[in-house]
Amino acid sequence: MATGKFRVGVPRDALDKSDNPIFDSGLLDMLTDPAVEWRYYDAPVPELSPKVAADFDALCVMGGRIGHSGLAVGRVRLIARFGVGYDNVDVAACTEHGVLLTLAPDGVRRPVATSVIALMLALAHKLLIKDKLTRAGRWAEKLDHIGTGLTGRVLGAIGMGNIGAEVFRLAQPFGLRLIAHDPLAKPVVARALGVELVDFDTVLRTADFVSVMCPLSECTRELIGPRELGLMKPTAYLINTARGPIVQE
């Protein structure tokens, strides 16, 4: 029931097991206006319920789906995605009910890009198996798992948007050849980053590291399947830091 104040819902996904905030985002510190109050709500599983939606004017959203039934209640005026991508929000329903939908590209660009670089380094140097050998005291086996390094290898991106461009910026010092496929990529941006724009199959055939960094849509759902994996080098690695359904698991 409305209290007269503008009520903001923050998902419990943003809390750890001890109910402490996972992210030091300063979000709650910003909600100090006396006309605004905030409360935690349970993440929508599988979808935001009308009961929860009726209690808030604005929702910060991490996981779960925001569909027509929740928005039809008519109270929610703003949905703020904690990150990027609209795949878990019914955009048409937002339009129909006059709900403003926002995302936060600057909040995830560097963290996701550094994760891609970290995964590449871990794979190239076989850090996972070496960690297990070290913990088991099997020092003599380290020479059985010599890595390849990154210098002279090919990094290929499927998608060169906000995050993809940041990955290429961070990859500059490693001596990699950089290629990408993205129908919407700006050639001037690619040239500035030293990235060669190529077709989809060329990325798969050529890259030692194929990094999936495109949004999930009906066009990209199950984009990577048996045919695409068959085009990749037997020694290549597939890194998906985008949405899971882009790859046919």
Looking at residue 233, its amino acid is: K
- Segment 195-205 shows an average pLDDT of 98
Instruction: Name the pairing type of β-strands 195-197 and 209-212.
Output: unpaired
Kindly report, residue by residue over 26-46, the tens digit of the pLDDT.
666 666 778 888 888 887 778
Q: What is the pLDDT of residue 1?
A: 46
Q: What is the pLDDT of residue 208?
A: 98
The token pair at 14 is 């943003």
Name which of 61, 65, 109, 87 is nearest 241 in CA terms: 109
- The least confident of 67-71, 169-173, 184-188 is 67-71
- Segment 47-53 shows an average pLDDT of 88
- Name the DSSP class of 1: -
CA distance linking residue 195 with residue 155, whole number of Å: 10
Q: Which tops the pLDDT comparison, 155 or 249?
A: 155
- The least confident of 14-18, 108-112, 213-217, 221-225 is 14-18
Q: Name the band, by pLDDT with cuts 50, 70 and 90, for residue 12.
A: confident
CA distance linking residue 154 with residue 60, whole number of Å: 38
CA 240 to mean position of chain CA atoms: 9
- The least confident of 80-89, 120-129, 174-183, 217-226 is 80-89
- Considering the chain, what is the average pLDDT of its residues? 91
Kindly report, residue by residue over 55-112, the tens digit of the pLDDT.
999 999 887 889 999 899 889 999 999 889 888 999 999 999 999 999 999 889 999 9
Torsion of CA 50, 55, 56, 60, to 10 degrees: -70
Q: What is the pLDDT of residue 3?
A: 56
Domains delineated in the chain: 6-103 (3.40.50.720), 108-246 (3.40.50.720)
